[in-house]
Structure 1
């Protein structure tokens, strides 16, 4: 990828002259201007819209790319990123990709041209090759929640596998004899880690069978569909670990519709710790991620990279916590829903 210095060398002028041609903020004679334009065309040089590389300026703007702004988990991350960024006088450019590869690719190209200072990305689709243009432009990247390369990029995530183990061990501790798992899509690193945590515990029991795992989308409808299949195929399950709280919300609604008492017939545990789990009847037991803290840690890591305080890749894995609520409190009488 050509740089402004390459253009200046090819045109036989200074970097400052190239900058003046692009910014059109100072006079450059027509002959020199034409040399610069030809050099840019031959080198396929694309100046950023804000010309950061030309003027040596920093825009104090970082981008945050998230897959689904409607999922209550991600605004919590975004708030952590924004609060820390503001403390260091950085603005945050928010990109909602809808978990679509073409949107993420388009955003990456736009962000490179807009000359952001750095990027925090949560993605299941982006690969290292697609981030290479940012690296070539000296734009650091931090992977949040869903890492795909832990050697070349700094990563901030929670301990997903350990959280799944905590969930299953809690269900066993309250007396569950056959525990099913609603797993997220396998393309998600977080879903795979939580499934592996579940399997690591239940595989030692004679009652375990792969039919106790049902994959679904990380949303309420996914939870509804999965629990319907699980109950139909495994009539004796008495515990369910859902791979995220939205699926747990859907599972709870469908279990009640199927005439199951939660938790006495089937106990239920989710994962994430979003506030919606406190609004149900019964309230849903969950593995609480430090959502805000994850966003804050990612922003701080990125800013330290920009300031040159961190040069190596850094992996931060934050602890999770079991929050016990009504959906696993067997034998406890709950008030009637109104």
Structure 2
């Protein structure tokens, strides 16, 4: 097995120079760095992660905090982050907070002690003070699928408000004349932005009433109760925009239970674009986010920050698109 001394000998440099290249610390000119990297590749030399951590206070670990790994949306994000991290020789710590702010805070404390190189976080229970402590320790942070009030953070997300408008316009164009919304948690900007997008469109109609909105939790569980509440208040609704696909799945199940036909009686549209929307009967119309690309972008952005190739804050918003399923295929007639 080749050693760091073998690399140094082949490259014609000192062991200390090879160490600086491996740990990305200290100055090494471009020509010398290229020689070292060539020698490492030629010898198939794989530096010890532990040794790098001891030498440079870095362990080549990226932490990823997600609110609910059982949601296929977050599973796809995690897969993308891991794929990109591995390409750049980083290992990912996956932390599932279960929407529990105490659990999330504990993760953050542990991760700081583990000398992680950077953090990607997508959280329903943001505590900006905890996240700020990472920056105080000079650990780069990227916010994924969420926003944050404080400036100076890099954020990767999609155009949630625009996507919500797209969903509601689609329901109107397919003959719906009274559309309700099961929103995501209003403590999350994702839930709020999709609600705002819904309101941007429906507030123009005489039938609109704030009681056409029922808050959900971005989960299948509870969406049945939300739908029951909406139907009790407004038995004449004929369209539902669910704040994410999991809630749309719950709506579909509850409508079937109540003997209501989709889309003939009530049309349903979700948001996210997870694979499950293609497996239901009927298939679900959804506003699709480029989930894998979002996770990959966040990981690339974090790696650049760790390597000092990018400083300062960035905001990257992905476009969304509506994918029509069977759940909205009614008579095409404009609402009036």
Q: TM-score range by the shorter chain?
A: 0.7 to 0.9
The separation in 1 between residues aligned to 2:229 and 2:294, in whole angstroms, is: 34
How far did residue 331 of structure 1 move?
5.4
- Conservation of the 8 A alpha-carbon contact between 1:272 and 1:288: yes
- Conservation of the 8 A alpha-carbon contact between 1:105 and 1:126: no
Once the two structures are superposed, residues 95-138 of structure 1 have per-residue CA deviations (whole angstroms, 9 ceiling, x without a partner) of 11111111111111110010010000011323332123322221
How far did residue 303 of structure 1 move?
0.4
SS at match of 2:69: coil
- Conservation of the 8 A alpha-carbon contact between 1:127 and 1:148: no
Alignment of 1:54-203 (within 5 A): 55-149=55-149, 151-203=151-203
- The count of corresponding residues between Structure 1 and Structure 2 is 283
The separation in 1 between residues aligned to 2:177 and 2:56, in whole angstroms, is: 64
The separation in 1 between residues aligned to 2:323 and 2:264, in whole angstroms, is: 18
SS at match of 1:221: coil
TM-score by length of 1: 0.81
How far did residue 187 of structure 1 move?
0.6
The separation in 2 between residues aligned to 1:135 and 1:92, in whole angstroms, is: 19
SS at match of 1:142: strand
The separation in 2 between residues aligned to 1:149 and 1:199, in whole angstroms, is: 22
The separation in 1 between residues aligned to 2:95 and 2:327, in whole angstroms, is: 35
Alignment of 1:1-338 (within 5 A): 55-149=55-149, 151-330=151-330
The separation in 1 between residues aligned to 2:162 and 2:150, in whole angstroms, is: 18
How far did residue 205 of structure 1 move?
0.4
TM-score by length of 2: 0.81
Once the two structures are superposed, residues 4-59 of structure 1 have per-residue CA deviations (whole angstroms, 9 ceiling, x without a partner) of xxxxxxxxxxxxxxxxxxxxxxxxxxxxxxxxxxxxxxxxxxxxxx7988732432
RMSD (Å), alpha carbons: 1.6
Q: Which runs of 5+ in 1 are unaligned?
A: 1-49, 333-338
Structure 1 segments, 4+ long, off by >3 Å, are 50-55
